[in-house]
Amino acid sequence: MGVLFGTDGVRGLANRDVTAELALDLSVSAAHILSEVGSRRTAVVGRDPRASGEFLQAAVSAGLASAGVDVIDVGVLPTPAVAYLTKARRADLGVMLSASHNAMPDNGIKFFTADGNKLPDHVEAQIETRLRETWDRPVGDAVGRIVTDTSADGEYVSHLLTSLPVSLKGLTVVVDGANGAASHVGPLTYREAGADVIEIHCEPDGYNINHGCGSTHIEDLQKAVIEHGADLGIAHDGDADRCLAVDAEGNLVDGDQLMAIIALSLRDQGRLAKNTVVATVMANLGFKHAMQNESIEVVQTAVGDRYVLEAMMASGFVLGGEQSGHVVMTDHASTGDGILTALQVMARMSATGTSLAELAGVMQRLPQVLINVDGVDKHGVDTDPVVAAAVADAELSLAENGRVLLRKSGTESLVRVMVEAQDEHTAAAVANDLADLVRQRLSL
């Protein structure tokens, strides 16, 4: 992989790291790599509501049009909506401007292939390699046009509703839109599906995205669910490619638990291909134990929903995801989709007449401690022999009742130390010891 692209596109501080110039140049390069030269080409471009998305989307659209690509501007929509519309409109590529769960000052650029898939590493490397190369610019009627599509949100909502096997009538859900891309289409979809919807943090103003709300700050959602006596709460992140949930008692239901619920639902419907689900190495050990108890196989991948999707596509699996709430269901989507995930979980509640707490109880989470260690050479975590020996000793002491995972972040300059154990005290002690060692050995 090159320097610009991380595990989920290009991301950084808007107007410093992610500039209008970079957005324009990346779009030109992507147009040359992803679209067929010699024919009239099309791209779908969307964004989340953050203020910097306005000038970045303008730059992306300008770059694409200058390269002879017609642009369909779908405005503010979730990342999975842009992925879906790219394929549905038979476009050559899609572009999403979003920094997902990051704070408002950040932004990012994600590209999709014509099939609505995220780019593999080697294609991202090609885009970087061809940045600012000399090229033959189209003129006259060969330049691209830019049109605004006001029907895209309705088309996306209709697509989501086709995934529902039952009505959600009788369910009351509180929706935290993170003041992000799902603020409109999330509540709209759930209402169209039959649920009674209470909205919080669904009033984006360009500056308040992810600010004390959404899937990274669920405290307001927990309070609202209890105050309103709702059946559940759903928390999206800024671009709505993920969701977390809260049960009627205000307890968090994370991505592993949501995926377990959906896995059992698909299995009972005879739709869980090869009786297998795909998860990342960060999945809680309790998830693996729960699936084993239900005779469901678990395939593990590197962290990142695109790696989950690659494993799914390679073997024909239909369900995969991450603890963070990225859940991919290839029968309906080509990337993680928080609204789709929530719909499937609520459909399981409606179909079985079972509470979210009872459904989530299929899995018992092992206590998990995650420490982010910054100010270190993150690449050294893969090569330092002392760190490797300490990890091996820790894993031996935990045996089958826990595990250790050290990994460098794909989007930030830090090392993540994750430890699971039978109790919180043991997990914290092991994690702190390893984090201290990483600081000692790898400090910059």
Give 291's contacts (C-beta < 8 A, 6+ positions apart). Answer: 260, 263, 277, 297, 298
Average pLDDT, the chain: 94
- Residue-wise pLDDT for 292-345, tens only, equals 999 999 999 988 887 899 999 999 999 999 999 999 999 999 999 999 999 999
Q: Which residues are catalytic?
A: 100
Closest CA to 418 of 403, 433, 397: 403
Domain boundaries, the chain: 5-150, 155-360, 368-442
What's the average model confidence in pLDDT over 56-75? 97
Q: How many CB atoms lie within 10 A of CB 444?
A: 9
- Please work out, in degrees rounded to the nearest 5, the angle formed at the alpha carbon of residue 24 by the alpha carbons of 18 and 29: 110
- Residue-wise pLDDT for 358-413, tens only, equals 999 999 989 989 999 998 989 888 899 999 999 999 999 998 889 999 988 876 77
The highest-level CATH class for domain 155-360 is: alpha beta
Q: Three-state DSSP class for 87?
A: helix
Q: How many CB atoms lie within 10 A of CB 283?
A: 24
5-150 and 155-360 have identical folds: yes
CB 63 within 8 A of CB 23: yes
C-alpha distances in Å from residue 399, one per residue of 53, 54, 367, 393, 409: 48, 51, 15, 10, 26
User: Right CATH number for 5-150 from 3.40.120.10, 2.40.110.10, 3.30.470.20, 3.40.640.10?
Assistant: 3.40.120.10
Beta bridge partners of 176: 200, 235
Reported pTM: 0.90
AA identity, residue 278 = V
CB 327 within 8 A of CB 263: no
pLDDT at residue 1, rounded to an integer = 39
- Residue-wise pLDDT for 23-65, tens only, equals 999 999 999 999 766 678 999 999 999 999 999 999 999 999 9
At 162, the pLDDT band (50, 70, 90 cuts) reads very high
Beta bridge partners of 280: 301
pLDDT at residue 411, rounded to an integer = 64
User: Right CATH number for 368-442 from 3.40.50.300, 3.30.565.10, 3.30.310.50, 3.10.310.10?
Assistant: 3.30.310.50
